[in-house]
Structure 1
């Protein structure tokens, strides 16, 4: 997958931008708050349909404007793909894939694949289980639209079951929603188990490489239940769930264990170790996506290099060969040794190509 063009209009602080990334490494350089991250976010929005920074679409529309537009054109092994998203202050977003409007968000998944690592990515390690579930769900949804729809079915059943629990309902009505919860939940659990097993194998090798083999990362799936026992455990928990008015069993309570040297990375890892673990997970996503789709996704790196020591930075750069990378930095000296093919200077929401062909 290669992003060939990004066009942006009235997106955050960017009035208009037309970016032609290189198939290798493209850099957005500039001071903070100039718009570098906004351009990465725009690409990721076209990959996933979501911003990694906010759930409020109004924040994505330039101040004083009513409509923002983002368009990504990419080449894949299946041909050219185009994703266009229009955000409005007064109506629902409009999304087109290859020029045709889509009705469901799931139809966007997998059209343009991308992996993003931003400062917020440390939440995977530092925050609670909800952040790690979000990480798994976002990447699996890109790979398998069927997983995205299973998440939607599960969320709907979980909400309905919660309302019934709060109303004190029992009997056939609760049985019916339990059945839907189990059906969708079993699909989610199976997909997560397979994905994390593949992710873990890559993450261990990548983390060892970046850390100079000084650290060992172990990634483990920690499910609330499994496919075979979900139905029976949900039924057994019903009485307690009615008392507490909350569903206590299911994939909405899953977690991902991240161990460095056998110790919990969240509790005992240093900032540098946690960052390396998070980056290793993101690079592992690249490999799993390539295995699944037959091509590398685009890698989006937001101010990553400046936070790494020189040795880890060098190891990371070595692992970027063959992958389209779009990254941001404030100081190009942080990228010494990186094979930069194109450099854009970003200032006050404007992008100027200063190195490579515009």
Structure 2
């Protein structure tokens, strides 16, 4: 699935914009503040109906406008596809895939899978475990859409158990129904842990390969760090029962997959604590490339990869290695302030888009 054309209306700084994307590497150039990241966000929003930059999606609507609309045209072996997203703050998003109204874009075959690197995404390495858990679960949902409900079911059971703990602590409920919720939570929890472990096992060799290819020296490892050692629902339920008194004291469930983490390690140490900023950036890039390769193996096509300002902190050697990886297969879009920061960026198989004073110039080939 290749994205070929993007149309934006009242999205961020663009009142109206249309760009054509190349089937391989597309390079977006422009000075700082020109609107390169806004355009990249527009591609992501058109693919997912979500922003990759903010949780307050009112911000994506151009100042002074009431709503925004994106349209993405794609092509695959079956022909042309079209996905539209209409968003007015305070109202339900209006989504269409190939003309049919859909509730969400997850699992639809009318658009490509997409992965994005933004400078702020370094929080995936540096930030709280919850960010890494959420990211890992998104990868699982992309690999196996049928399993996306496992995390929702676990979260619902966790909320019910926590509410019951609070009621017991306040003297409004008894402990009689706790074993049933322990069993329910454990059933979904063991399934969630198994999916996470299998995904990280699959990603681990690809992660090491790409990290080394990008020049992250030393022994690197991607590691799943489950809070529980249980291998069955009964074992996890027993662990929950053993910790009941401490849970009642806190008023919430302190043990289980909702406390899991994902570790980025180099030479036996966490990149988060002991890596340089450059090493952390390479670790994140290696993860995205590993996920892209795994998704390509699972679905027969690599996801669309969006990379914002990734070249500015890489030396010439690492820039060359990254571009070589991107040009092997699949579709990628890179933003940069200088075209010469992208090795081979002037070659004829590279699509170029220039943003000048907020205007998108016609894509060109060398």
Give the alignment partner of residue 202 of structure 1, picking from 181, 206, 224: 206
Please name the residue that 1:331 is paired with.
Answer: 338
Q: Does 1:350 align with 2:359?
A: yes
Aligned to 2:290: 284
Distance 2:297 2:338 in 1: 34
Partner Cα separation in structure 1 for residue 337 and residue 364 of structure 2: 16
Which position in structure 2 is the counterpart of 1:216?
Answer: 219
Partner of 2:91: 91
Q: Please identify the structure whose Cα radius of gyration is greater.
A: 2
TM-score, normalising length from structure 1? 0.92
Counterpart pick for 1:258 among 260, 264, 276: 264
Q: Which residue is equivalent to 1:144?
A: 144
Q: How does 1:225-244 map to 2 (within 5 A)?
A: 225=228, 226-228=230-232, 229-244=235-250
Contact 1:7 1:71 in 2 (8 A): yes
Residue aligning to 1:171: 175
Residues 127-136 or 138-147, more deviating: 138-147
Partner of 2:87, secondary structure, is: strand
Alignment partner, residue 310 of structure 2: 304
Q: 1:178 to 1:335 in 2, by over 3 A?
A: same
For residues 269-310 of structure 1, what are the alpha-carbon distances to aligned partners after superposition, in whole Å with 9 as ceiling and x for unaligned? 111111111110110011110111011111111110111011
Residues 221-278 of structure 1 show CA distances to partners (whole Å, capped at 9, x for unaligned) of 0011244132221222222111111111221111011111222111111111111111
Cα distance change on mapping 1:109 and 1:129 into 2, 3 Å:
farther
Residues 17-36 of structure 1 mapped to structure 2, 5 A cutoff: 17-36=17-36
Report how many aligned residue pairs link the two structures: 356
Structure 2: tracts of 5 or more residues without a match: none
Who is 2:276 aligned against? 270
TM-score normalised by L of structure 2: 0.90
Aligned pair in 2 of structure 1 residues 307, 10: CA closer, same or farther (>3 Å)?
A: same
* 1:109–1:145 CA contact under 8 A, matched in 2: no
| Contact 2:296 2:302 survives alignment (8 Å) | yes
Could you say what secondary structure the match of 1:194 adopts?
Answer: helix
Identify the match of residue 183 of structure 1 among 187, 197, 213: 187
